[in-house]
Amino acid sequence: MDLIPQLRASLLAISLPAPSTAFLTTLVASRSPPPPLPSLIATAKARLLACDLAAPAALLDAAMLPALPAAAMAADASSARLSRDVHIHATAKARLLACDLAAPAALLDAAMLPALPAAAMAADASSARLSRDVHVQVLDVENLSVSRWDQIEELEAVARGERTRGRQVVRVAAGADDDAAVAPDNDGPRSRRDAVAAVAGPSATHRLVLQDCRGNRVYAVELRRIDRIGIGKTNIGEKMLLRAGTVVARGTVLLTPETCLPLGGRIEAWHEAWAESRLQRLKDVVGGRHTR
């Protein structure tokens, strides 16, 4: 029985980007005999969600495939199979979510990976709807409900190891949980905990920069709150599925829970660079406005 068509159909059925035949062949042939289909699906999913949609890279590294743990090898056959399935599932999911959508030759099937339509993305197009599902990856996320000055003050306080409780400055030990409970009053500056609450709140609005498989970038804004979107929730490099029917107005994608499906994933290098440069980028934007 040929596992590759079954594996491809299963991945497409859960809305993942179409994998390349070369990737699936390598995955199936990585063990002899091949792992069960559920294990292969999990491994492929993780790898696709971790790839970069726009940057070519060779991601089919056999060293990234986990070996069977010694404990499972020493157990009976059923226990070993269960442990192997869990490990392969996790590996597949991570590899799919960490891949680059713009590098279909390495991992994805370019013929089955549609890009955002140019006509709909044009700034002079008053309104259009996507005619088919499109996979994208996140390049930036911003909370429009919190002023940039507040965000700068929060990040600078965190850099000093401080957090505020009302008018009182509280020193925070290195590595303290950012989501620890803080009870500020209404007279003092916002703490970072307040910002997290604003991000997760039902009235928050976020703007994202999305990129498709061809490297095209587009702004996207929450038309209605999507709980899985937010600073601290959304990773840079994370994959999303824009469903057919998604509205694009004046070159901006309007996100709703019905049309936007966050798939997860993260590209570590992108996310770390974004987090490290966030404070400076906010200062540049605020400073640029005041110098004009």
Residue 175 in tokens? 């590595």
- Segment 96-155, tens digit of pLDDT: 777 777 765 567 777 788 899 988 888 888 889 999 999 999 999 999 998 888 888 888
- Segment 53-72, tens digit of pLDDT: 765 443 433 333 334 455 54
Distance CA 154, CA 159 (A): 9
74-87: b (≥16 Cβ within 10 Å) or e = eeeeeebbebbbbb
Cβ atoms within 10 Å, residue 121: 20
On the question of pLDDT at 221 being above 60, the answer is yes
Distance CA 222, CA 206 (A): 6
Distance CA 56, CA 105 (A): 7
Spell out the domains of the chain, with CATH numbers in brackets.
3-110 (no CATH), 114-144+205-292 (2.40.50.770), 145-203 (no CATH)
Q: Which of residues 281 and 180 earns the better pLDDT score?
A: 281
Name the residue type at position 288. Answer: G
When pLDDT is cut at 50, 70 and 90, the band that residue 80 belongs to is low
Look at residue 156 in the predicted model and tell me its pLDDT: 86
Angle subtended at Cα 44 by Cα 6 and Cα 256, rounded to the nearest 5 degrees: 100
Q: Which of residues 206 and 120 earns the better pLDDT score?
A: 206
